[in-house]
Amino acid sequence: MSDAETWQPSGRELEREDVRRSLRRRSILVSTITTIVVLVGLVLITVTSPGWPRVKALFFSWPDAKASFPDIWHAFWTYNVKMFLIGEVLILALALLIAIVRQSTAAVLLPVRVIAVVYTDIFRGIPTILLVLMLGYGMPAMDRSAVSLWRLMKSLSSGGMTRRTACGTSTVRSVWV
C-alpha cells in the first residue's frame, strides 16, 4: 500500500477540524439569534406604533382580502400569465431571428446584421428600468395608428376589456382603447 491510501489526519488536523466545526456552529447560532432579535424588534416597533390600527385596517383586512381575491386572481391570470405566455413566444421568435441574422455571413444581409448588432448592443447596454420607462411611456405617446405591432400587443394583452377596480365600486375602461 502506498502512503496516499493509508493517510490518516494527524491529531493536530483533527483538532483544527473540531475548532472549525465549533466556530461554524457558533457563527450560525449568533446569526440566528441576531436575526430573530432584529425581526422581533421590527415587529414590536411596527405593532406598537400609533398608526398601526389604521394601517392594519387598510392593508391587512382579512374580509377585504377574501372579497377582492377573485378579482385579483382574474387580473393576475389575464394580465400577467397570459401576457407572459404571449410575450414569451414572440420574444423567443424575435431573439432567434436576431441571433440567426447576427451569425449570418451573407453579404446581402450586412445591413440587417448591422441593425441586429446595434439593437442588441443598445438593449444590453441600457439599464432595464430605463427601457421599461421608454417603452412604457414612449410607445403609447407615439402615433398609435402607425405602430401596428404595438396595437397587436395591446389587443392581445388587454383586449380593451372593462374591469372592476379592487374596491369594486367602479369600472375602469382600459387606457389603451
Q: What pLDDT is recorded for position 21?
A: 95
Do the beta carbons of residue 79 and residue 158 sit within 8 Å?
A: yes
pLDDT at 4 over 60: yes
Backbone angles phi, psi at 124, to 5 degrees: -80, -30
Using a cut of 0.95, tell me whether the model's pTM lies above it: no
Q: Are residues 22 and 95 in the same domain?
A: no
Q: HSE on the CB side for 143, CA within 13 Å?
A: 2
Does residue 124 form part of some domain? yes
Q: Are residues 152 and 81 in the same domain?
A: yes
Q: HSE on the CB side for 70, CA within 13 Å?
A: 5
Is 164 exposed, middle or buried, given 0-12, 13-18 or 19+ CB atoms closer than 10 A?
middle
Q: What tens digit of pLDDT does each residue of 25-34 get?
A: 999 999 999 9
Q: What tens digit of pLDDT does each residue of 13-64 get?
A: 999 999 999 999 999 999 999 999 999 999 999 999 988 999 888 888 999 9
- 51: domain range? 11-56
Nearest to 75 by CA among 169, 141, 137, 168: 168
Q: Are residues 157 and 97 in the same domain?
A: yes
